[in-house]
Amino acid sequence: MSKEQTDSKRAEKWTFALTVVSLIAGGTVVAGLVDRWSSSPSDDISVAASSSITMTSTPDEIPAEDVPEYSYVTPSAVYPTTIPGCESVEAPDDEHGISIFTSTGGDDAYDDPRFPWFSGAKAVSMSDAVAGAIPDGVEIKFASPSRSLQFGPISAPSTSDELPEGWTIEDLASTDASATILRGEASGGLSVSVNSSKAPVPPCVAGSLVERRSLADGSVVDVQDSWSEINGQRTLSRSAFLYGIDGTRVHAYLDDTADRVGAEVQASGALPLTIDELVSLVSLPQLRITTPAPPGAAPLETDCGGRTDESSGRDLDRGIVEALGEALRSGWRAAPPEAPDLGSRLGDLVLAEYDDTTTCQVLVARSGSNESRLSISITSGQPLPTPPNKYDPSYDGHPLSMETTEDGSVIERDESRGEKVHRSVVVTRPGGTRVTVSSSAEAPNVPMTFEQLEFLATIDGLEIR
């Protein structure tokens, strides 16, 4: 993943984490600068349901005249009111203006010593528990590991210098899992966030929840069932937030936006999980920060990226990916004796993180004491490359070689040297399938040879039809 993608992804996580804290602390909050909501001086306080919002970063970064305005509408909160499970209900604030802070600072890690409750093994246990809690008849859409309810590394700031007043790094250091889930005609995006916090359970505020449930151990779950409209486009949402008595905080958020085409959200109009199912999910004992991870957990699958010149390939389904993986496994069994050991996970292909038209895998190749990193990606809809013009002033000498085989496939071989030696073979078939196999290593290790890489890239069956 490029630095830009990493920074963007981390910023998205920060926006989500801070928004969650704001939602629980003070009702509905929108990222950006929100006009103050007016309240009636009468006995029944009705919070205005519509606000004009201008999304900004900081005044120095984006001129106000260049930032479009849009309307954001939520159901009106009526007060006084009663909420099941709440002994008392507070009035919503009459001023909800807030700026959501985002940060690209800090490191994401599974084993951050600042958060001893979390580890790679704990992430495996949590991911397995959430996936296992998805009810029968509900499907997790086939996607990359990071979009398949797999908890990622802890996302946290490196310092507390720019945190909102009263918030700590611990409050905002979360691990998140997300996926698109399907149930009949209903589909939507599910996200689960887990963190630790010493903050007390907040009071019940009108409009911020529809029910508060108390669990047997004294923990509390707040439930919300609502909707919102942006520029007239409605999104249904449902959430459950666990305030664990041990300091665990689990937030499960579900909406009906399964797909996005450009800037337009495609809403299904129905939510694929009930409130009770969301409450059961956040109540899983494996998500508690005081529940240790079982020993011997298998490592999590890791995301990988593809290498495409054009995004014209077809979206890959589970059947296609599994067939390509089996072709890799069976083909490598005939590799020459001097070929490196690629381990038992060869062929466990996954969808690329940002490209559903590409399947890929990252492995470690071992030959005695030598180790190198091996990347494999397979995509379709790719044009046959044309030989470079060696007399073009922009020609940089890459690829090192290019040849066309008898069946019309084009094989490119390339190598670069720096701190690491990087070697690759790219095979593009006439039907548009492109197989990219690359190996890199840092001295004293060496990458796989061109012959070994080409053997992998030309295995029979590695074609998407």
Of 266, 287, 308, the residue at which a domain comes to its end is: 287
The DSSP H or E segment spanning 201 is none
> Does 328 lie in the same domain as 267?
no
Residues 6+ apart with CB under 8 A from 216: none
| Tokens describing residue 195 | 């963190």
Q: How far apart are the C-alpha atoms of 464 and 434, rounded to whole Å?
A: 9
Residues 6+ apart with CB under 8 A from 208: 23, 24, 26, 27, 28, 77, 92, 222, 224
| Per-residue confidence (pLDDT) for residue 9, from 0 to 100 | 42
| Tokens describing residue 23 | 């939602």
419 in a domain, yes or no? yes
> At how many degrees (to 10) do helices 275-282 and 120-133 cross?
160
**Residue 140 predicted with pLDDT over 70:** yes
Per DSSP, the three-state class of 64 is helix
215 in a domain, yes or no? yes
Summarised one tens digit per residue, pLDDT across range 190-217 is 999 999 999 999 999 999 999 999 999 9
> Does 203 lie in the same domain as 105?
yes
Q: Pick the residue with more confidence: 89 or 7?
A: 89
> Does 367 lie in the same domain as 276?
no
Residues 6+ apart with CB under 8 A from 61: none
> Does 322 lie in the same domain as 276?
no
Of 267, 287, 307, the residue at which a domain comes to its end is: 287
> Does 448 lie in the same domain as 350?
yes
| N-to-C CA span, the chain | 27
273 in a domain, yes or no? yes
> Does 363 lie in the same domain as 218?
no
Q: Phi and psi of 378, rounded to 5°? A: -135, 130
Q: How far apart are the C-alpha atoms of 430 and 150, rounded to whole Å?
A: 36
Contact in structure between 143 and 182 (CB atoms under 8 Å): no
Per DSSP, the three-state class of 275 is helix
Look up residue 155 and give its amino acid: S
464 in a domain, yes or no? no
Contact in structure between 56 and 68 (CB atoms under 8 Å): no
Query: Considering only CA atoms, which of 356, 400, 352, 397 is closest in space to residue 375?
Result: 352
Model confidence at 401, pLDDT cuts 50, 70, 90, reads: very high
> Does 438 lie in the same domain as 364?
yes
Model confidence at 93, pLDDT cuts 50, 70, 90, reads: confident
Over pLDDT 90: what percentage of the chain?
Answer: 63
Neighbours of 281 (CB within 10 A): 22
Query: Considering only CA atoms, which of 406, 413, 415, 416 is closest in space to residue 457?
Result: 413
* Beta strands in 119-256, from DSSP E residues, in sequence order: 139-140, 154-155, 174-183, 186-196, 211-214, 220-230, 233-243, 248-255
| Tokens describing residue 93 | 């604030």
> Does 323 lie in the same domain as 281?
no
Query: Considering only CA atoms, which of 397, 385, 398, 368 is closest in space to residue 427?
Result: 385
Q: What does the DSSP 8-state code read for residue 146?
A: G
In angstroms, the Cα distances linking 163 to 39, 99, 106, 160, 201 are 29, 12, 13, 5, 20
78 in a domain, yes or no? yes
Summarised one tens digit per residue, pLDDT across range 332-362 is 999 999 999 999 999 999 999 888 999 999 9
Q: How far apart are the C-alpha atoms of 95 and 39, rounded to whole Å?
A: 9
| Per-residue confidence (pLDDT) for residue 6, from 0 to 100 | 42
Q: How far apart are the C-alpha atoms of 143 and 180, rounded to whole Å?
A: 8
> Does 105 lie in the same domain as 248?
yes
| Average pLDDT of the residues of the chain | 82
Q: How far apart are the C-alpha atoms of 273 and 148, rounded to whole Å?
A: 16
**Residue 394 predicted with pLDDT over 60:** yes
Instruction: Please provide the size of the chain in residues.
Output: 465
> Does 383 lie in the same domain as 341?
yes
Helices then strands (H, E): number in the chain? Answer: 6, 23
Contact in structure between 61 and 174 (CB atoms under 8 Å): no
> Does 381 lie in the same domain as 423?
yes
Of 271, 287, 303, the residue at which a domain comes to its end is: 287
| Per-residue confidence (pLDDT) for residue 22, from 0 to 100 | 36
What is the count of structural domains for the chain?
A: 2
Enter the pTM of the model. Answer: 0.80
Query: Considering only CA atoms, which of 464, 463, 460, 426 is closest in space to residue 330?
Result: 460
Q: How far apart are the C-alpha atoms of 94 and 91, rounded to whole Å?
A: 9
In angstroms, the Cα distances linking 447 to 63, 307, 400 are 49, 19, 16
Residues 6+ apart with CB under 8 A from 386: none
Range of the structural domain that residue 430 is part of: 318-457
Summarised one tens digit per residue, pLDDT across range 265-274 is 678 999 999 9
Q: How far apart are the C-alpha atoms of 455 and 399, rounded to whole Å?
A: 18
> Does 193 lie in the same domain as 44?
yes
Summarised one tens digit per residue, pLDDT across range 14-45 is 333 333 333 333 333 332 222 222 223 333 33
139 in a domain, yes or no? yes
| Per-residue confidence (pLDDT) for residue 97, from 0 to 100 | 37
| Backbone region of residue 232 per phi and psi (left: phi > 0; alpha: psi in -120 to 50; beta: other values) | left
Q: How far apart are the C-alpha atoms of 324 and 377, rounded to whole Å?
A: 11
Q: How far apart are the C-alpha atoms of 330 and 339, rounded to whole Å?
A: 15
**Residue 80 predicted with pLDDT over 50:** yes
SS3 content of the chain, % helix, strand, coil (to 5): 20, 30, 50
Summarised one tens digit per residue, pLDDT across range 280-314 is 999 999 999 999 998 877 778 889 975 555 557 89
271 in a domain, yes or no? yes
Quote the distance between the C-alpha of residue 335 and its chain's center. 36
| Tokens describing residue 245 | 């008595």
Look up residue 7 and give its amino acid: D
301 in a domain, yes or no? no
Summarised one tens digit per residue, pLDDT across range 437-451 is 999 999 999 999 999
Summarised one tens digit per residue, pLDDT across range 50-72 is 333 433 334 445 566 665 666 88
